[in-house]
Amino acid sequence: MSSALIAADLAYWAQSLLRVLGGLVAVLLPAGTVVYLFLFKMMSFMQSRLGPMEAGPYGSMQLFAEVGKWLQKEDIVPANAQPEARIFKMAPLIVLASTFLLVVVVPFGPDAWFTDFEVGIFYALAVSSVSVLGILIAGWSSANKYSLLGGLRAAGQLIAYELPMVLAVVGVVIQAGTMNLQQIVVAQNAGSMFGWNGVGNPYILTQFVAFIIFMISVQAELTQTPFDMPIAESELVSGYMTEYSGFRFLIFFIGEFATAGVFAMIASVLFLGGWGVPFAWFGWTDMDSIDNWMNVVGPLILFTKMIVLVFFIMWVRFSFPRFREDQLQRFAWKILIPVSLVNIMVTAVLKVAF
Amino acid sequence: MTMLGDRQQLAYIAAQAADARVNVELETEGMTLNIGPQHPATHGTLRIIARLDGEQVVWAEPSAGYMHRGYEKLTEVRTYPQVTALVNRIDWLGSFANEVPFILAAEKLMGVEAPARAQHIRTILFELSRIANVSLFLGDLGVQLGAVTPVFFAFRDREYVLNLIEAATGGRFHPNFDRIGGLKDDLPAGFIDETRMVMKKLRTFCDQIEDLLFGNEIFQSRTRGIGVIPKDVALQYGLSGANLRASGVDWDLRRDQELPMAWNKADWKVWTHPDGDSFARCWVRLQEVRESTKIVDQLLDTIPSGPVMAKVPKIIKVPEGEAWVSTENPLGEMGYYVVSQGDQGPFRVKIRSASFNNISIVPWLLKGVYVPDIITILASLYFILGDIDR
């Protein structure tokens, strides 16, 4: 993670290099952890099997084996997609790009951030929908009917669930009084509940409804079961990913799980206090008084919180059947959006009252 | 103009009409979606041609025959004992159940009856193959609807049943154990205790599936009211088995007909459901597995002693005549019409398999449903491709 301290001393190219490396780590590490820990192992244990056991101790190198396998595969472009092969090949990169764009606003420690953006959460929600573009392009340019149906379903679903997600975040923004993710972290950890500051004021307590709505929307944005209609493997084969093979499929795959990690990080920043511990524990009062070691411990804390949240995402994924897409839209428009609007209203009224 | 069969012509006209409807009302283009022959939802090579208006099915038609293996013709050049090896492969998940009606038909022609012990063991193995078959359905149902976990439970617990079948017959999938006049062998030592234990496990499995899947709200919203088959339509299309019972018709060949089998020696219940929708079909099958475990448990207590083989000649020649025997197989009514001219092999065998009739309702049922519901309906109708194409 490149920090402001480093940024002060290094040349521009060195800073950029550090940021790029940090970005790669921040995207790939969660993706790898999530895939191994949850997709390989937890899923297996839930299904009374062992999962990968051969590659490395306890199957821990399985992911590298898989990546190696994918890299060796032929990069196939279907005959009907040939005229637009460039667009076909570009689509997975757009999906992954949205993940990288997303991670830049996540704060990892008091000074460990890629960019300290005043409208951070606004930006995050905006760039998260770039992936819809990639998915639509993939679905359309594959020249496959299943892909087309998958792409269109994905577009409809992702746009529908963008809305409750934004509305859920509005509650947090009202309470924190800022859209800067770093400030939201500070507001939670420096805050107090009725004068007691033992655990700060994590917004999961006051914004519990928003938290639930946010996590449901995340589930839908990630197209994980029960919202996996776009890639429903039993009916659309693999939706918009059907025609992709080798490395391009791998990029979709990384994109999916890296986004899961990054969204979980954003959720823990918004609702669980992000990288911070309650400031009262160490006698800190504001940003400037935080000890420097938090720059090292902070990312670990954030990572732990992310793992916990992804656990819930994956738990739901492995145990639920999927919605039909009309039920899914009805759920978004008739339940989630009204509830989040009520949540905003109540939050605003209470904010003014107290 | 090329000559079209009546059926094809009708299908062609329906497709034209579907196009017209799509174009005139919405001014959008329809799309023909070929679900299959290679598709994850068709467990084999069934092809469903669906004309879509957006995600709505305007017209659909199953196209079978991609896996036709010509068993009816093959039986004409095989001897009677050899035929059981063929018919094993019709419904490959419940193989033993396929052998029984054929053997019963041959026995009927020869005037032989299996000893009481053989009848008992036949019934036990029949029910075990039903459990092996339908428990996989219960798991597969989850996969079709997007829940990946139940199928692993199904495979885990089905393995115990397959082990039992293997212990008794020597084959997990294709036992080829039934003989004219009885069975190839007696049960192995320890089979009865082992079976009791497995039946207990299977009942636990049913409870798990009921909790995990049937109690789930999403599952219910995906299956309730989807693919409703009214009673009279079900009868008209010749549905059988759980599909018919789910439409409220109290019809079970195990109970309703007199066969030299041991079902009437056990106390069990035929479950029906008034709704006729996908949920009802799944639920009836779940209850069926439970009833089967009960039947097996009771029959284990009352296996009579004695030989497992009646006196039959070494070289089997079936006297001239015709016989029809059908039984309530895991998928529905399965029957064999055997015509003999006094040779070592049958002159002609007509196989009535359940799935072929069960999916004949698909064009009627799929009209107007959404694409995801196609999968729900196909899964709940439950066909085995070998049973359609033979």
Q: Which residues of A touch B213 (CB under 8 A)?
A: 321
Residues A26-35 have pLDDT tens digits of: 888 888 888 8
Closest chain B CA to residue A331:
B218
- Is A75 near chain B, with CB under 8 Å? no
State which residues form the domain around A58: 4-353
Distance in angstroms (rounded) separating the CA atoms of residues B80 and B179: 9
- Give yes or no: residues B276 and B143 share one domain: yes
Contact B31 A145 (CB under 8 A): yes
pLDDT at B13: 66
Q: Tell which residue, A217, A304, A230, has the closest CA to residue A263.
A: A217
Distance CA B100, CA B334 (A): 10
CB B71 within 8 Å of CB B351: yes
pLDDT tens per residue across span A188-212 = 888 777 777 777 788 888 888 999 9
| Minimum-distance CB partner of B149 among A318, A323, A324 | A318
A1 pLDDT above the threshold of 70:
no
**Look-up of token digits 């065998």:** B349
Q: Do A321 and B219 touch (CB under 8 A)?
A: yes
User: How do the pLDDT tens digits run along chain B, 390 residues long?
Assistant: 444 566 666 666 666 666 555 555 555 667 777 787 777 766 777 888 888 877 778 888 888 888 888 888 888 888 888 888 888 888 888 888 888 899 999 888 888 888 888 988 999 999 999 999 998 888 888 888 888 888 888 888 888 999 999 998 888 888 888 888 888 888 888 888 999 999 999 999 999 888 888 888 888 888 888 888 888 888 888 888 888 899 888 888 888 888 888 888 888 888 888 888 889 999 999 999 999 999 999 998 888 888 888 888 888 888 888 999 999 888 888 889 999 888 888 888 998 888 888 888 888 888 888 888 888 888 888 888 888 887
Same domain, B190 and B319: yes
| Total count of domains within chain B | 2
Question: How many whole angstroms separate alpha carbon A231 and alpha carbon A145?
Answer: 13
Instruction: Give B-chain residues touching A46 at CB under 8 angstroms.
Output: 149
> In this complex, do B40 and A47 lie within 8 Å of one another by their Cβ atoms?
no
Domain with B11 in it = 1-67+358-390
Q: Do A320 and B153 touch (CB under 8 A)?
A: no
Q: How many CB pairs under 8 A join A and B?
A: 80
Which residue in chain A is spatially nearest to B378 when comparing CA positions?
A: A235
Share of chain A above pLDDT 70, in %: 98
> Is residue B198 located within the same domain as residue B110?
yes
Check whether residue B36 and residue B105 sit in a common domain. Answer: no
Note whether B257 and B332 are same-domain residues. yes
pLDDT digits (tens, 9 = 90+) for B131-176: 999 988 888 888 888 888 888 888 888 889 999 999 988 888 888 8
Q: Give contacts of A325 with chain B, Cβ < 8 Å.
A: 55, 370, 372
What residues 203-262 of chain A have any CB closer than 8 A to a CB of chain B?
Answer: 225-226, 228-229, 232-237
Taking an 8 Å cut-off on Cβ atoms, the answer to whether B145 and A234 are in contact is: yes
Residue spans of alpha helices (H) in chain A: 4-9, 12-34, 43-46, 62-72, 85-103, 120-128, 130-141, 145-176, 181-190, 203-206, 208-221, 246-271, 294-319, 325-330, 337-353
- Two structure tokens written together for B347: 């002159």
**Helix (H, G, I), strand (E, B), or coil: what is residue A214?**
helix
Same domain, B79 and B224: yes
- The total of structural domains in chain A comes to 1
